[in-house]
Amino acid sequence: MIRSISFAMALATGCWLLASTTNAQTIGTATEARNQVSGKVNARVRRISTGSGVSTNEAVSTGPASAGVFRFVDGSNLNVGEKSTVVLDRFVYDPNGGRNVVLNVSKGAMRFVSGGVGGRATVVTPGAVLGIRN
């Protein structure tokens, strides 16, 4: 009896973990991934290569002599420099008139270029928060 309950709990936990990693919304694509570029969602780490999709709540990290360039569905671009970690906290895009982007830079360098769609962008760093409206 205890074995069957334990098995049922393990199976339910596995299904929940699988569902939580596959429900992430794809918000863009890696247009360049040089050397060590990885993504982490819900404690699951994967290698990001050119053409890989990226999703909300994904932590994108680069190693030494590495870089990643990402193009989002609204036409905006994010460049992540070497030895950097950027979390794609929130990305809400309405093709009829707006966007709300939140990026959390925990270390390293990044550049965000908007795609010409109006809306807000927030960049959070360990020392400051930068809010951008256009």
Domain assignment of residue 75, yes or no? yes
Structural domain tally of the chain?
1
**Among the ranges 25-29, 58-62, 99-103, 105-109, which has the highest mean pLDDT value?**
58-62
Q: What is residue 49's DSSP assignment?
A: -
Please enumerate, as own/partner, the contacts of 8-17 that have beta carbons within 8 Å and a separation of 24 or more.
Answer: 17/42
What is the mean pLDDT of the segment spanning 53-75? 94
Structural domain boundaries, residue 65: 26-133
Mind listing the pLDDT tens digit for each residue in 76-87?
A: 899 999 999 999
Q: Is residue 11 part of a domain?
A: no
Closest C-alpha to 62, from 81, 88, 43? 81
- Predicted local distance difference test score (pLDDT) of residue 95: 65
Looking at per-residue confidence, does 27 or 1 come out higher? 27
pTM of the shown model: 0.76
